[in-house]
Structure 1
Amino acid sequence: MSTPKIALQVISSGILPDDVLMLGESLMKQSKIPAQQQLTLQFGSFRHSVTIVPVPRYQGMRVSQTLARRMGIFGGIRLRVQYRSAARTVALGPLIGVLVSRVMPEHPDKPFGDITMFCREVTEACRSQGAHVYFFTPAAIRPNVSAVEGWVYTKGWQRLTLPAPDVMNNRLTTRKLENQPEVQQFMRDIKTRYGAKVFNEKFLDKSEVFDALKKDGSLQRYLPESHSLNNFAMLKSMCSKYGTVFLKPVTGSLGKGIIRISRFGDGWQASHATVSGTKRQIFSSLAKLYSSIAEKVKSVRYQIQQGLSLMEIGARPVDFRALTQKDAKGNWVTTSIVSRTANTDHFVSNLARGGTLSTVKATVANSNLPAMIRADAFRRLRAAALDIARGIDTYIPAHFGELGIDLALDSSGRVWLLEVNSKPSKNDNTPLHEGKIRPSVRTMIRYARYISGF
Structure 2
Amino acid sequence: MPVIYPDSDAFIRETDKAPALGILVCEKNALPPFAESRFIRKLGEHGSRQGLSVFAFAPWTWNPADGTVQGWRFEPSLLKWQREAHPLPALVYDRSWPANESEKRKYRQALRKLNSARRLAHLNGPLPGKAAVQLALAGDERLSPYLPPTRLYEGTDSFLRWLTRNRGAAFLKPAAGSQGRRVVAVRRKADGSVSLRGRLADNRAFSCDCADFHEAAARIGRWIGGREYVMQPLLDLRNAKDEPFDIRALVQKNGKGRWALTGTAIRRGQAETVTANLHGGGTAEPAQAALASMFGGEKAVMLLEEIRECCLHVVCTLEQCYGRFAELGLDFGVDRSGRLWFLEANSKPGRAAMECFGEAVARTAAGRPVSYARHILFRSPGRVIHEFDHL
TM-score with structure 2 length normalisation? 0.83
Counterpart residue type for residue 234 of structure 1: S
Conservation of the 8 A alpha-carbon contact between 1:325 and 1:443:
yes
Give 1:432 deviation, angstroms: 3.4
Aligned counterparts of 2:158 and 2:298: Cα–Cα separation in 1: 38
**Against the structure 1 CA distance between its residues 334 and 371, is the aligned structure 2 distance closer, same or farther, given a 3 Å change threshold?**
closer
- Give unmatched runs, 5+ long, in structure 2: 1-8, 380-391
Aligned counterparts of 2:112 and 2:170: Cα–Cα separation in 1: 36
Give 1:270 deviation, angstroms: 2.1
Partner of 1:249: 174
Conservation of the 8 A alpha-carbon contact between 1:138 and 1:177:
no
Q: Does 1:141 align with 2:68?
A: no
Higher relative contact order (CA 8 A, sep 6+): 2
Partner of 1:234: 158
Conservation of the 8 A alpha-carbon contact between 2:171 and 2:184:
yes
Conservation of the 8 A alpha-carbon contact between 2:24 and 2:58:
yes
Give 1:358 deviation, angstroms: 1.0
2:312 paired residue among 370, 383, 386? 386
Counterpart residue type for residue 383 of structure 1: E
Give 1:215 deviation, angstroms: 2.6
**Against the structure 1 CA distance between its residues 144 and 430, is the aligned structure 2 distance closer, same or farther, given a 3 Å change threshold?**
farther
Q: Secondary structure at the match of 2:353?
A: coil
Partner of 2:237: 310
Give 1:203 deviation, angstroms: 5.3
Q: Secondary structure at the match of 2:215?
A: helix
**Against the structure 1 CA distance between its residues 245 and 394, is the aligned structure 2 distance closer, same or farther, given a 3 Å change threshold?**
same
Aligned counterparts of 2:89 and 2:14: Cα–Cα separation in 1: 6
Partner of 1:23: none
Give 1:164 deviation, angstroms: 1.5
What is the aligned residue count?
360
Q: Does 1:299 align with 2:226?
A: yes
Counterpart residue type for residue 159 of structure 1: R
Partner of 1:129: 50
Map Cα deviations across residues 392-427 of structure 1 (whole Å, 9 max, x no partner): 21112x442111111111233332122222111233
Q: Does 1:180 align with 2:101?
A: no
Partner of 2:185: 260
**Against the structure 1 CA distance between its residues 345 and 412, is the aligned structure 2 distance closer, same or farther, given a 3 Å change threshold?**
closer
**Against the structure 1 CA distance between its residues 407 and 351, is the aligned structure 2 distance closer, same or farther, given a 3 Å change threshold?**
same
Conservation of the 8 A alpha-carbon contact between 2:235 and 2:335:
yes
Counterpart residue type for residue 242 of structure 1: N
**Against the structure 1 CA distance between its residues 387 and 188, is the aligned structure 2 distance closer, same or farther, given a 3 Å change threshold?**
farther
**Against the structure 1 CA distance between its residues 120 and 292, is the aligned structure 2 distance closer, same or farther, given a 3 Å change threshold?**
closer
Partner of 1:95: 20
1:2-401 alignment, distance < 5 Å = 46-47=15-16, 92=18, 94-104=19-29, 107=31, 110-113=32-35, 115-144=36-65, 146-154=67-75, 155-156=77-78, 157-174=81-98, 176=104, 180-187=108-115, 189-191=117-119, 197-202=121-126, 204-243=128-167, 244-265=169-190, 266-274=192-200, 275-284=203-212, 286-367=213-294, 369=295, 372-396=298-322, 398-401=323-326
Q: Does 1:428 align with 2:353?
A: yes
Map Cα deviations across residues 349-391 of structure 1 (whole Å, 9 max, x no partner): 1122211211102211322x25542232222222222322222
Map Cα deviations across residues 111-156 of structure 1 (whole Å, 9 max, x no partner): 335x222122111111111111111012312234732221223334
Map Cα deviations across residues 268-309 of structure 1 (whole Å, 9 max, x no partner): 32223355534131323x222212222223322111012212
1:439 paired residue among 355, 364, 367? 364
Q: Secondary structure at the match of 1:180?
A: helix
Aligned counterparts of 1:220 and 1:358: Cα–Cα separation in 2: 28
TM-score with structure 1 length normalisation? 0.72
Q: Secondary structure at the match of 2:195?
A: strand
Partner of 2:328: 403
Partner of 1:451: 376
Q: Pick the structure with more helix per residue.
A: 2
Q: Secondary structure at the match of 2:225?
A: helix
Q: Secondary structure at the match of 1:161?
A: strand
Aligned counterparts of 1:226 and 1:215: Cα–Cα separation in 2: 14
Conservation of the 8 A alpha-carbon contact between 1:178 and 1:202:
no
Q: Secondary structure at the match of 2:314?
A: helix
Conservation of the 8 A alpha-carbon contact between 1:173 and 1:423:
no
**Against the structure 1 CA distance between its residues 184 and 326, is the aligned structure 2 distance closer, same or farther, given a 3 Å change threshold?**
farther
Instruction: Return 334-343 or 427-436, whichever deviates more.
Output: 427-436
**Against the structure 1 CA distance between its residues 427 and 371, is the aligned structure 2 distance closer, same or farther, given a 3 Å change threshold?**
closer
Aligned counterparts of 2:362 and 2:239: Cα–Cα separation in 1: 32
**Against the structure 1 CA distance between its residues 270 and 436, is the aligned structure 2 distance closer, same or farther, given a 3 Å change threshold?**
closer
Q: Secondary structure at the match of 2:139?
A: coil
Give 1:320 deviation, angstroms: 1.0
Aligned counterparts of 2:269 and 2:245: Cα–Cα separation in 1: 6
Conservation of the 8 A alpha-carbon contact between 1:206 and 1:419:
yes
Give 1:225 deviation, angstroms: 0.2
Aligned counterparts of 1:171 and 1:145: Cα–Cα separation in 2: 25
Aligned counterparts of 2:221 and 2:133: Cα–Cα separation in 1: 24
Aligned counterparts of 1:144 and 1:214: Cα–Cα separation in 2: 47
Conservation of the 8 A alpha-carbon contact between 1:402 and 1:422:
yes
Give 1:201 deviation, angstroms: 3.4
* Larger Cα-atom Rg: 1
Aligned counterparts of 1:427 and 1:204: Cα–Cα separation in 2: 24
Give 1:179 deviation, angstroms: 5.7
**Against the structure 1 CA distance between its residues 450 and 329, is the aligned structure 2 distance closer, same or farther, given a 3 Å change threshold?**
same
Q: CA RMSD in A?
A: 2.7
Partner of 1:88: none
Q: Secondary structure at the match of 1:366?
A: helix
